[in-house]
């Protein structure tokens, strides 16, 4: 069990060379939007930076899928919902819940992939439930994990993070098509689409560097990541979709495809996310990890 838990704190994403429901808090209130005439002519990166105000943020609703394209062709589905809070340089805090669905998986694995809630504050993540719930000491509700760019345990998070100015700029520079994108967050959008390599994303994106855990190999760096960004008339992103496939043949005898669909709404929402009480927090070395576990849950799910 100790080996399995250690893997889930970050090594799973690195080993796979890959990136992984609650509403917004009841007291969250959307800030008045700037007049359309004032912001319609700005570019997406400038529009994003204008949202970087203390105790303001955006709501996130995200669906992810990991598909093991091997003999069993299984899939893991996950949903994340909550609020991302900005500071002057970008996202500084978040409050997200996550729920997994494992069609056809054994009951034991379903328990391992239980619902969880993660608070990220000042670069530290606090995780309640999920993989870690049963291992926490009595009276403790949260596991503290350093490093807040990625929620531990899910390698199918949004690999093209449109809340990072450099990532947004790099992706849009690879736009190959534009068309009407439908209505999202109550506003009509234009969808920009294209591809960017994993290596290019690694250079500009803190999220990707955290997801991968190490610089991609020369072969992996050339992998194409397909993306779509839906921009409103204010140039803010309302939806981001990405997908890419990594061959793991020789390790698990399959290919892994990662699909992510993130929806952003309520730009300017008020938020004041705080870390949990210290009395309810445990560190990794306090966990009751039980017996050794030779395989991480992702390998078990997709095992031929």
Q: Using one digit for the tens of pLDDT, what is the confidence trace for 108-141?
A: 566 667 788 999 998 899 999 887 778 888 889 9
Residue 166 scores a pLDDT above 50:
yes
Which residue from 243, 246, 248 is spatially nearest to 299, judged by alpha carbons? 248
pLDDT (tens digit, 9 = 90+) per residue, 50-87?
A: 999 999 999 999 999 988 876 667 788 889 999 999 99
Which residue from 261, 278, 266, 199 is spatially nearest to 227, judged by alpha carbons? 261
- Residues forming a β-bridge with 237: 231
**pLDDT at res. 105:** 60
Q: Across all residues in the chain, what is the average pLDDT? A: 80
- Residues forming a β-bridge with 57: 85, 269
**pLDDT at res. 301:** 61
CA atoms of 297 and 287, how far apart (whole Å): 18
CA atoms of 87 and 69, how far apart (whole Å): 40
* Beta strands across the sheet bearing 224-231: 175-184, 187-197, 224-231, 237-247, 255-270, 56-69, 75-86, 91-101, 116-121, 124-129, 142-146, 281-282
> Can you read off the two tokens belonging to residue 235?
């140039």
CA atoms of 204 and 199, how far apart (whole Å): 9
Longest Cα–Cα distance of the chain, Å, equals 62
Residue 47 has a CB neighbour count (10 Å cut-off) of 20
First to last CA, the chain: 22
CA atoms of 287 and 285, how far apart (whole Å): 6
> Can you read off the two tokens belonging to residue 132?
């870690």
Contact status, residue 60 vs residue 247, Cβ threshold 8 Å: no
**pLDDT at res. 66:** 86
């Amino acid at each position: 069990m100790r080996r399995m838990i250690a893997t889930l704190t970050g090594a799973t994403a690195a080993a796979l060379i890959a990136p992984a429901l609650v509403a917004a808090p009841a007291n969250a209130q959307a800030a008045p939007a700037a007049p359309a005439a004032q912001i319609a002519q700005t570019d997406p990166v400038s529009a994003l930076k204008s949202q970087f105000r203390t105790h303001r943020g955006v709501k996130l609703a995200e669906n992810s899928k990991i598909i093991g394209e091997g003999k069993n062709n299984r899939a893991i589905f996950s949903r994340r919902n909550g609020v991302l809070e900005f500071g002057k340089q970008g996202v500084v805090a978040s409050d997200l819940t996550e729920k997994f669905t494992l069609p056809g998986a054994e009951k034991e694995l379903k328990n391992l992939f239980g619902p969880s809630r993660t608070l990220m504050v000042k670069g530290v993540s606090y995780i309640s439930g999920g993989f870690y719930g049963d291992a926490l000491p009595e009276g403790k509700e949260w596991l503290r994990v350093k490093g807040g760019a990625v929620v531990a345990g899910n390698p199918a998070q949004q690999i093209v993070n449109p809340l990072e100015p450099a990532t947004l700029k790099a992706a849009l520079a690879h736009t190959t098509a534009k068309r009407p994108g439908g209505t999202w967050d109550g506003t009509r959008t234009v969808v920009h689409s294209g591809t960017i390599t994993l290596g290019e994303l690694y250079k500009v994106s803190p999220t990707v560097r955290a997801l991968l855990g190490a610089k991609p190999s020369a072969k992996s760096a050339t992998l194409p990541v397909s993306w779509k960004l839906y921009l409103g008339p204010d140039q803010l992103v309302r939806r981001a979709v990405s997908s890419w496939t990594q061959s793991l043949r020789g390790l698990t005898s399959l290919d892994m495809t990662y699909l992510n669909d993130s929806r952003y709404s309520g730009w300017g929402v008020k938020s004041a996310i705080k870390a949990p009480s210290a009395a309810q927090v445990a560190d990794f070395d306090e966990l009751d990890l039980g017996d050794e576990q030779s395989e991480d849950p992702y390998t078990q799910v997709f095992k031929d």
